[in-house]
Structure 1
Amino acid sequence: MKKVILPLALLAGIVGTANAQTGIKYGVKGGYNLATFSGSDSQGSQYKSGFTAGLYANFGIADNFSVQPEVLFSQKGASIDNFQNLPTTRFKTTLSYIDVPVLLRVNAGQDGKGLFFELGPQASFLVRNRDFTQTGNASTQSTDNTNSADMNKTVLAYVGGIGYQITSGLSLGLRYTGDFTQVYKQGISANYAGQAYAGGNGNNPSVHNSVFQFQVGYAFGGK
């Protein structure tokens, strides 16, 4: 019983401190993703565009410190030129995730405005993937472009960022997300991944999502 009461009391204390010092804010955000793959089999990977959007809450724990959990829809993936050593062929994969970062935010400005920094872990849950090849000006979608059997459905990552709180509600941010977990499972590929990477040897590549995010957010509540 004590093991249950102590964490509940600690959580209540944190929330109470948040209300007493800087309040609780809820917000929405959206932005632009610039994504690619990193890792030992990422040679030839180029950046591709995507978007991110979602909700967040900000719990103040001190005048310049807060904890910010978020739930975001985020498009990731990569683009590869010269697919299968064909100079006019490009392979693209778009991976859609639900990202759940929990960030420690440090505010360098006064009254919650000005420069801020954020850092923390993130769990991502795959909801869809879409692969296609493009030859010249013609785009041909693969017959198995939504096959996710070879992919890790849950991915762990780290997040680091910097931003500026313009007003008590409006903010701009630049964030980097790097995955610890590989995009694909180890083993023989059942889709385009093994053909696109690792010399086309038929095995899933050892790659990780690597994403820069440019975000605009607006918060409600708090001071």
Structure 2
Amino acid sequence: MKKSLLLTVIAVLGLANVNAQNVEFGAKAGLNFASIYGDNTSDIGFVTAYNFGLMSEISISEKFSFQPELLYSGIGYSIDDESDDDTVALNYLTVPLLGKYYLTERFSVEAGPQVGFLLSAKQESTDVKDAFKTLDFGTSLGLGYKLDSGLNFSARYTLGLSDISESEDFSNNTGVLQLSIGYFFF
């Protein structure tokens, strides 16, 4: 896992040096509305968590840019059964690698792959990290709006493509709607 993270960071930093005069750096934070889907998920509900981290936007042309991010992202799900409401909190370090196409000067569509590195998994106060795989690969699709001041807004959905469960009896994937506000400093 450490080698994968290191290679991802090196690749992102290498791309940032391609055209340094057209690179912006910033931070972002927001809310996640997350759950899982797949086998045995009929009693599974959404949880609300948060995300925060760093981002960069590298202009390729007037209409197209590349936006790598490094985010702490809370994901998880709630279990609705007759006895109680229980929550499983999955905390990831995610690396979205998004292509952005500007439909207008400020409004963009964004899409690209994402890799998530599982940091922790808790059910109530019990550590359940061993029940989940350490990597989660997904794909993101979203919309963005960027003001001249550097303030920006985004809404995206990330669909998990890999099975996150260590169990051989069933397969589960993540699904996250992410709403964020960011600011490009320079």
> 1:4 aligns to what?
none
Secondary structure at the aligned position of 2:177 is classed as: strand
Give 1:151's match in structure 2, choosing from 115, 124, 132.
Answer: 132
Deviation per residue, 1:58-88 (Å, 9 max, x gap): 1100001100110000000101111xxxx23
Secondary structure at the aligned position of 1:182 is classed as: coil
Deviation per residue, 1:142-173 (Å, 9 max, x gap): xxx11322210011100111021133400111
The CA distance in 1 between the partners of 2:39 and 2:128, in whole Å, is 23
Structure with larger Rg = 1
> 1:64 aligns to what?
63
Letter in 1 for 2:53: G
> 1:135 aligns to what?
none
CA apart distance, 1:109: 2.0
State the Cα RMSD in Å.
Answer: 1.7
TM (normalized to structure 1)? 0.73
Secondary structure at the aligned position of 1:63 is classed as: coil
Deviation per residue, 1:29-63 (Å, 9 max, x gap): 00001011111322111111100000011110000
> 2:152 aligns to what?
171
Structure 2 unaligned blocks of 5 or more: 1-13
CA apart distance, 1:218: 0.4
Count of aligned pairs: 172
Give 2:92's match in structure 1, choosing from 75, 94, 97.
Answer: 97
TM (normalized to structure 2)? 0.86
CA apart distance, 1:220: 2.3
The CA distance in 2 between the partners of 1:207 and 1:167, in whole Å, is 41
The CA distance in 1 between the partners of 2:87 and 2:167, in whole Å, is 20
Structure 1 unaligned blocks of 5 or more: 1-10, 133-140, 188-202
- The answer to whether the aligner puts 1:115 opposite 2:107 as a matched pair is yes
* Preserved contact between residue 66 and residue 104 of structure 1 (Cα < 8 Å): yes
Give 1:15's match in structure 2, choosing from 3, 15, 18.
Answer: 18
Higher strand share: 2
